[in-house]
Amino acid sequence: MLVGPMVWVTAALCVVWIGVGAASFLLLRPPSGMVLAGVCLAGTSGTAWLALSMVVRHGPFSVHLPGHGEVPWSDIASIELQPGLLSVPTVSVRQGRALSEVELGGLAWFGRRTSQRLAERLAEAGGLGEVVVRGRTAAPGRRAAD
């Protein structure tokens, strides 16, 4: 199981929802305090569901991907890293003759180091080889003539 930084941030938001709900229940008058506490309970439930859905579960034969369920390691073509302000690991899944890309938002983070380390751990678990960073080539290319 891989739990990335965005999962921890989302879990921290759950704690904030709980705190606001408890404070509103205790500090506000009964009708409005209870209503706001109920709204915070709904926010806590939704945020907790989001945090749990971003956890990447894997085993020796498959990995659980958001929106795809259990995917056998043999159906995964590659794991790549989309660099930028927020680096997001992306898994390319074979679906027939096409490839479908699944972003792993729970493993994303600002900068590249943390996201790449988590993506490499996932690639190592599935024996997929090296994590490719998009936008980088192994050798410098030549520009085509105009």
74 lies in the same domain as 120: yes
Task: Give the domain range for residue 70.
Answer: 66-126
Judged against a pLDDT cut of 70, whether residue 141 lies above it is answered with no
Asked whether residue 47 is domain-assigned, the answer is yes
Beta bridge partners of 87: 109
Per-residue pLDDT, averaged over 72-97, amounts to 93
Asked whether residue 86 is domain-assigned, the answer is yes
Count of domains observed in the chain: 2
pLDDT score at 136 = 60
86 lies in the same domain as 117: yes
Asked whether residue 81 is domain-assigned, the answer is yes
Contact 73, 62 (CB under 8 A): yes
Residue 51: Cβ-neighbour burial (10 angstroms; 0-12, 13-18, 19+):
buried
Asked whether residue 26 is domain-assigned, the answer is yes
pLDDT score at 44 = 97
Read off the pLDDT of residues 11-65 as tens digits, 9 standing for 90 and up: 999 999 999 999 999 999 999 999 999 999 999 999 999 999 999 999 999 999 9
81 lies in the same domain as 106: yes
Asked whether residue 146 is domain-assigned, the answer is no
| pTM, to two decimals | 0.81
